[in-house]
Every structure is written in structure tokens, then in C-alpha cells.
Amino acid sequence: MRHDGYDDLLDAIEEGNGFYLACPEDHGSLPPRRVCPECGSRELAEAPLPDSGEVVAATTVSVAGPQFADDAPYVTAIIDFGPVRLTGLVRDVDGEPDPGTVVGVGVAETVTTGDRVVAFRPR
């Protein structure tokens, strides 16, 4: 099933043109969104997602739900890109990356279902 807005973001990241939604007050958020959750502005415009971000926190998940059963164990992390943060899998790392580790963003497929997922790799 396609989720308009969010899948548009994944398409854009795959093409190297990641974006986020910015309001006139420069608050960032992710699609789908009609209102800035910080200030309530409805004037949202696409702005380019920074090329790299820093790890805020990471964990290795060993007990997964059915959507990720064959992926476990896997590393998932929250990454700070400045205006927005994204959550996704971290690939090509041994263990969890330390906070502050710089990563780039891409899109990968899960082992279990083949669904697209936000994926980060060290820069």
C-alpha cells in the first residue's frame, strides 16, 4: 500500500533529492503534514534534506515483530539532520554507532518483506 506523502519522501531520498517540510518560522517536519506541529502554520514548503546527519541514539533490536522477523538482529537509530530527525535502519556498521556518528541517508529493503525502509550508512 502506498502512503502518499511519506512514499513521496522515500522516492525523493532514493533519487538523492530528500526533502522535509519547512514553515515560514523554519520549523521542520516530515510528510504527510498539513500543519506545522510546532507553530500551527499551514504554509508548508519542501526544503532540501541535509546531505548527512548525526546519530542521536541507536539500539540493536533482537526481538522483532513479524515485519522484521528475518532482519533481526538489526540496528535502528534516530538521526538528527538539523531541521528534522529521521528514524531508520543503520547498515554497514559493527554494533551500534556512537552518538554523534555522521551518516548519510538512503532507502533499503527489509529482508523479511522487501518493503522499503529509511536506511543510514556511515559517511
Residues in touch with other proteins (CB under 8 A):
3, 6, 29-30, 37, 56-69, 71, 74, 76-78, 84-89, 96, 99, 110, 115, 117-118
Query: 83 or 122: whose CB is closer to other proteins?
Result: 83
d(CA 49, CA 28): 10
> Residue 105 in contact with residue 69, Cβ under 8 Å?
no
Query: Cβ 48 to other proteins, closest distance in Å?
Result: 19
Query: 24 or 37: whose CB is closer to other proteins?
Result: 37
Closest to 14 measured CA to CA, from 88, 96, 94: 88
Query: 16 or 65: whose CB is closer to other proteins?
Result: 65
Helix, strand, coil shares, percent, the chain, to 5: 10, 40, 50
Query: Cβ 116 to other proteins, closest distance in Å?
Result: 8
